[in-house]
């Protein structure tokens, strides 16, 4: 009479193992689904496409976290030892506007736009991750006292910003079309200008 019981017990163990295996498979699938959802949420965060524009060399070259403007797509230090000076417009003997005029110079290739100068140190962005970039941008103590609508307006219409889409010479314009950038800004603003959590 012992045999059937132990056979039943064996069955029970087998069934339990099978259930456990199915359970593990389901958990694994759920984990993977969760991971995919999380990854997707991260790439589609409303600030992500804006960060991509801010990181473009056409923008970043003027927004360093030190005293040197940068040049080119590799963002090398500006030739001729150019520095920001006290007012972000260059040192006494090398003012930005001595070379950079109100428009791109077709002959020399020197880029230009009205009031060409370096973004103040508090508006330096290079090396910041999306979270820090977003928080810096929104911080009125760093962004020139701009409210959210003013910030969006600046990125929509400021002449130094717009230069990024018409940079002259052999320079690549910002990759995202400007109209798309404006839509992305509006969507981010409408969502309450959230910053990524990491």
What is the DSSP annotation of 99-119?
Answer: H--SS--TTT-----TT--PP
Question: Residue 110 or 182: which CB sits closer to ligand HEC?
Answer: 110
Cα–Cα separations (whole angstroms), residue 46 to 191, 193, 197: 8, 8, 12
Q: Rounding to the nearest 10 degrees, give the CA dihedral for residues 139, 190, 192, 47.
A: -60
Cα–Cα distance measured from residue 124 to residue 81, given in angstroms and rounded to the nearest whole number:
19
Q: Could you tell me the smallest distance in angstroms from the CB atom of residue 45 to ligand HEC?
A: 18
Q: Could you tell me the smallest distance in angstroms from the CB atom of residue 197 to ligand HEC?
A: 20
Question: Residue 45 or 84: which CB sits closer to ligand HEC?
Answer: 84
Q: Could you tell me the smallest distance in angstroms from the CB atom of residue 160 to ligand HEC?
A: 4
Q: Could you tell me the smallest distance in angstroms from the CB atom of residue 68 to ligand HEC?
A: 9
Binding site for ligand HEC (CB under 6 A): 53-54, 57-59, 61-63, 69, 71-72, 78, 80, 82, 84, 90, 94, 96, 98-100, 109-111, 116-120, 123, 137, 143-144, 146, 151, 154-155, 160-161, 163-164, 169, 171, 174
The count of C-alpha atoms lying within 13 angstroms of the C-alpha of 109, restricted to the half-sphere facing its C-beta, is: 5
CB 195 within 8 A of CB 135: yes
Structure tokens at 169: 């010479």
Question: Residue 20 or 98: which CB sits closer to ligand HEC?
Answer: 98
Question: Residue 6 or 93: which CB sits closer to ligand HEC?
Answer: 93
């Amino acid at each position: 009479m012992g045999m059937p019981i132990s056979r039943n017990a064996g069955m029970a163990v087998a069934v339990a193992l099978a259930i456990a295996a199915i359970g593990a498979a389901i958990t694994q699938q759920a984990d993977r689904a969760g991971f995919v959802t999380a990854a997707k949420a991260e790439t589609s965060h409303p600030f992500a496409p804006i960060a991509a524009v801010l990181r473009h060399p056409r923008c970043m070259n003027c927004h360093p976290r030190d005293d040197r403007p940068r040049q080119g797509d590799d963002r090398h230090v500006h030739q001729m030892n150019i520095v920001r000076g006290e007012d972000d417009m260059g040192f006494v003997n090398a003012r930005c506007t001595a070379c950079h005029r109100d428009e791109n110079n077709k002959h020399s290739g020197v880029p230009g736009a009205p009031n060409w100068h370096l973004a103040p140190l508090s508006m330096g962005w290079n090396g910041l991750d999306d979270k820090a970039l977003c928080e810096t941008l929104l911080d009125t103590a760093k962004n020139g006292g701009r409210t959210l609508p003013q910030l969006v307006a600046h990125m929509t219409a400021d002449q130094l910003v717009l230069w990024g889409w018409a940079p002259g010479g052999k320079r690549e314009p910002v990759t995202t079309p400007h109209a798309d950038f404006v839509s992305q800004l509006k969507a981010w603003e409408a969502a309450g200008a959230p910053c990524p959590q990491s």
